[in-house]
Structure 1
Amino acid sequence: MFLIPCPHCGPRAESEFSYGGDAKGSRPAVPEESNDETWIEYLYLRDNPKGGHEELWQHVHGCRRWLRVSRDVVSHAVNGCRDVAEGGS
């Protein structure tokens, strides 16, 4: 377990949050015009970085805000956290 420093609620346990995925990934621009290969690549073929990484987390058991969390996926050290709605996307 690690703590996520929610900018609205303060430091909270990771169990209060729901993981939303890689913060750098982007959906296909026109979903209904994308082929199966594009969707497979978006949904399943992702990098598995070692070290620093940016992720999206929703504080489901708190303020319910979406946050962009910068953390080390090896040590779980959180290096930053900001609200997506406040320019954190």
Structure 2
Amino acid sequence: VERVVLAHQDRLARFGYPLLVHLCQTHQCELLVMNTEELSPEQELVQDLITITHCFSSRLYGLRNYRKALKKAIADDQSAQDQASSHA
């Protein structure tokens, strides 16, 4: 990989960005960030907290949907087995 182009620096990694910069430099890979808006430490912290909250809430909703789909699949399978055994 010769070049990695990012819209924002935290699109590649929210945390540990300096390590990724170092790795890219070590492997002669250009890391190009298009939006280099500077934020105050407080603004950065607020954005980090919002991102973490969003990530975990999305994961929670995903687990709920998975659980519902799994229960439905089990119920459908049980219903199909019951119908098959009643016809036998």
Q: Which has the larger radius of gyration?
A: 2
Range into which the TM-score falls when normalised by the shorter chain:
under 0.3
TM-score, scaled relative to structure 2: 0.18
Bigger proportion of residues as helix: 2
